């Protein structure tokens, strides 16, 4: 069973379920557009279709992203003298083309930014906003009951005002050096000339029949004339996306939020026969990115900094780390079931607080003491027991209040189709950005060459119970709660790690467990990312199928946990910053790479 013996091993990768991901996309067209360095970052593909990932080293600049073409575009921007802000624009616009199921300009993002000149960490909130016409009952049927998830998703109802384009412009204005329109050229070229459909993209298109093919535009783009998913290796062109990026290149973000592109977005939102949306031209024109103070939590002498509300990421990661810091995980190690009892139940307690208290703090008064050391010490005391916490023992705590609202627990759906990338430039600036359209292929509605998000389904469908409100209920202009956890870890004020992952609400344990592996078990970034997943958010301990994590089942059952075995398809990317240079890691479960100079 020993997890510590699996890192970088073909045994771990070959045993994972086929179809979770692919290595480098097939086809000579893609191969010719990636550098030898990108290929060298991968070992040969093995039976499962995965590629064993190796630690990538660089002297001064690096990109770790979910697709080789996107990583290459970012590295090219750095090589031209660009900053991490410049590379971010190139990476995101290519990702939106070649990985449309995960992110794009029709979605939103959270950015954690380290400014080398000032030595400060700040965050930028590019999360989608609810339409001004939205009400708390947006996702209730005519009987007042929550809609089935995909009944809410597919169509215009789930679409919020996208934030990615304004976020790209905001950080480029703040810290970019290269010309804005030049940064869009790699994506424009790929959209015009075509890119090769990867095994992963093909599998996801095939698996989304019945939803992605319900809009004529999306059906014509993702399926052939016979209704079959685009084949692996076929060349996909997107001239509409190229034209959209050309407009944004000439007019800036206003060319997206106003004018013809905006009109096409609203037309797509309102055109769905059974599920039209409420988004308006006024909602798009009013959209703003918000710069927010980073939320930082201590762990073993380090500062773990990330995104605060409307993301629950940094607060929940910080709570888990605060609780487990009371235990000697280094001595216990990753092979001891006791380690996973502590981590699993700490995660459950943190998620109980998350469900009750966390939401868009511009709309909801939150407790100020969620990361209070004494509060977390008290919560950690609940873990000092020989067996798993019972269901009745896992409930929201009573943190220091400072005028927080009383409210009830709420649940919302979060889907794992998101992407994360990390960029470090030669000046030491760092971008750690998690970007998403929410569910795979978002709302399944295309406009002007890109997919529109379904982020509004991250709100709680049920807004209240017995007259008490849920924190994460729908409200006009509000940003839905997220689990996205872009993170930068500092040591004595200097960046040490930058990382993040997709994965819905599993993002939080993915990132937390990776930090524990880095800090407590002294793994390098690739080893920590390779770690088989064990996650417990709401009471059932899920063990990653086809990995040595399965062998913990008997021990965790004996400790009193409910357990299940399932796919845990993270997309972790991270970079370690050392005095000798940079070390990058990419998730073997997906097709991403790290590359640098």
Name the domain count of the chain.
Answer: 1
A 10 A CB-CB count for 515 gives 24
Instruction: Give the pLDDT confidence score for residue 148 in this predicted structure.
Output: 95
Q: Give residue 593's pLDDT band: very low, low, confident or very high (50, 70, 90).
A: very high
Q: Is 175 helix (H, G, I), strand (E, B) or coil?
A: helix
Average pLDDT over residues 277-303: 98
Would you say residue 10 has pLDDT above 50? no
**Confidence check: pLDDT of 25 > 90:** no
Examine residue 353 and state whether it is found in any structural domain, yes or no: no
Look at residue 482 and tell me if it is in a domain.
Answer: yes
What is the C-alpha separation between 40 and 390, in angstroms, rounded? 48
Omega of the bond leading into 78 within 30 degrees of 0 (cis)? no
pLDDT for the residue 401? 73
C-beta separation of 138 from 474 below 8 A: yes
Domain of 467 in residue numbering reads as 3-291+412-596
516 inside domain: yes
- Residue pLDDT, tens place only, 323-334: 999 999 999 999
- Residue 475 forms part of a structural domain: yes
Residue ranges with strand state E in 96-226: 108-115, 120-126, 195-196
Domain assignment of residue 392, yes or no = no
pLDDT recorded at residue 408: 56
SS3 content of the chain, % helix, strand, coil (to 5): 35, 20, 45
Residue 365 has pLDDT above 60, yes or no: yes
Determine whether 533 is exposed, middle or buried from the number of CB atoms within 10 Å of its CB (0-12, 13-18, 19+).
buried
Provide the pLDDT confidence category of residue 468 given band limits of 50, 70 and 90.
confident
* Tens-place pLDDT, residues 150-178: 999 999 999 999 999 999 999 999 999 99
In a domain, 226, yes or no: yes
Domain holding 98: CATH number? 3.60.20.40
In a domain, residue 427? The reply is yes
pLDDT digits (tens, 9 = 90+) for 223-257: 999 999 999 999 999 999 999 999 999 999 999 99
Q: How far apart are CA 532 and CA 3, in angstroms?
A: 7
Enumerate the active-site residues.
Answer: 418
Mean pLDDT (the chain, rounded): 90
Range name among 16-30, 386-400, 524-538, 562-576 with the lowest pLDDT average: 16-30
Is pLDDT at 388 greater than 90 in this prediction?
yes
pTM (whole model) above 0.75: yes
In this structure, the number of other CB atoms found within 10 A of the CB of residue 90 comes to: 31
Total number of residues shown for the chain: 597
CA distance 90 to 71: 9
Q: What percent of the chain has pLDDT over 70?
A: 89
> Is residue 458 one of the residues assigned to a domain?
yes
The residue-averaged pLDDT of 261-278 equals 97
pLDDT band with cut points at 50, 70 and 90 for residue 12? very low
């Amino acid at each position: 069973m020993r997890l510590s013996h699996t890192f970088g091993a073909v045994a771990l990768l070959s045993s994972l379920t086929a179809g979770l991901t692919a290595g480098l996309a097939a086809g000579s067209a893609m191969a010719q557009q990636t550098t030898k360095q990108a290929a060298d970052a991968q070992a040969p593909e093995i039976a499962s279709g995965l590629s064993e990932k190796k630690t990538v080293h660089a002297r001064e600049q690096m990109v770790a992203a979910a697709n080789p073409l996107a990583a290459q575009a970012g590295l090219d921007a750095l090589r031209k003298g660009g900053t991490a802000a410049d590379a971010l624009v190139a990476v995101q616009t290519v990702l939106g083309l070649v990985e449309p199921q995960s992110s794009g300009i029709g979605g939103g993002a959270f950015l954690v930014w380290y400014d080398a000149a000032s030595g400060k960490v700040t965050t930028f909130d590019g999360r989608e906003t609810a339409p001004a016409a939205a009400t708390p009952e947006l996702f209730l049927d005519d009987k007042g009951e929550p809609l089935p998830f995909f009944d809410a998703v597919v169509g215009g109802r789930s679409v919020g005002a996208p934030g990615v384009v304004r976020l790209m412009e905001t950080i480029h204005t703040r810290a970019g050096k290269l010309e804005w329109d030049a940064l869009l050229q790699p994506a424009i070229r790929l959209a015009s000339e075509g890119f090769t459909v990867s095994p992963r993209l093909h599998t996801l298109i095939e698996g989304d029949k019945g939803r992605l093919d319900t809009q004529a535009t999306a059906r014509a783009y993702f399926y052939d004339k016979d209704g079959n998913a685009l084949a692996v290796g076929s060349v996909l062109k997107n001239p509409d996306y190229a034209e959209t990026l050309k407009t944004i290149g000439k007019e800036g973000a206003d060319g997206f939020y106003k004018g013809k592109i905006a009109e096409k977005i609203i037309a797509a939102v309102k055109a769905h026969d059974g599920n039209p949306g409420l988004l308006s031209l006024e909602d798009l024109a009013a959209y703003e990115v918000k710069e927010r103070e980073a939320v930082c939590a201590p762990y073993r002498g380090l500062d773990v900094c990330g995104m605060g509300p409307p993301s629950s990421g940094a607060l929940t990661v910080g709570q888990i780390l605060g609780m487990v810091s009371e235990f000697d995980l280094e001595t216990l190690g990753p092979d001891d079931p006791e380690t996973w009892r502590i981590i699993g139940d700490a995660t459950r307690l943190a998620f109980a607080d998350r469900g009750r208290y966390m939401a868009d703090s511009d709309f909801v008064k939150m407790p100020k003491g969620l990361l209070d050391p004494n509060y977390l010490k008290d919560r950690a005391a609940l873990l000092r027991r020989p067996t798993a916490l019972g269901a009745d023992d896992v409930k929201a705590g009573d943190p220091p209040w400072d005028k927080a609202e009383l409210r009830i627990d709420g649940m919302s759906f979060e889907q794992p189709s998101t992407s994360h990338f990390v960029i470090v430039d030669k000046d030491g600036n760092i971008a750690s950005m998690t970007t998403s359209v929410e569910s795979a292929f978002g709302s399944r509605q295309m406009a002007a060459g890109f997919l529109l998000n379904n982020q509004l389904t991250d709100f709680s469908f049920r807004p209240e119970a017995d007259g008490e409100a849920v924190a994460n209920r729908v409200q006009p202009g509000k940003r839905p709660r997220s689990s996205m956890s872009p993170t930068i870890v500092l040591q004595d004020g200097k960046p040490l790690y930058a990382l993040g992952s997709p994965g819905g609400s599993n993002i939080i344990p993915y990132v937390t467990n990776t930090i524990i592996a880095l800090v407590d078990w002294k793994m390098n970034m690739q080893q920590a990312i390779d770690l088989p997943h064990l996650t417990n958010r709401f009471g059932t301990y899920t063990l990653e199928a086809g990995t040595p994590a399965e062998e913990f089942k008997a021990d965790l059952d004996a400790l009193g946990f409910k357990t299940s075995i399932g796919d845990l398809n993270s997309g972790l990317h991270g970079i370690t910053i050392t005095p000798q240079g940079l070390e990058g890691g990419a998730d073997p479960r997906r097709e991403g790479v790290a590359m640098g100079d």
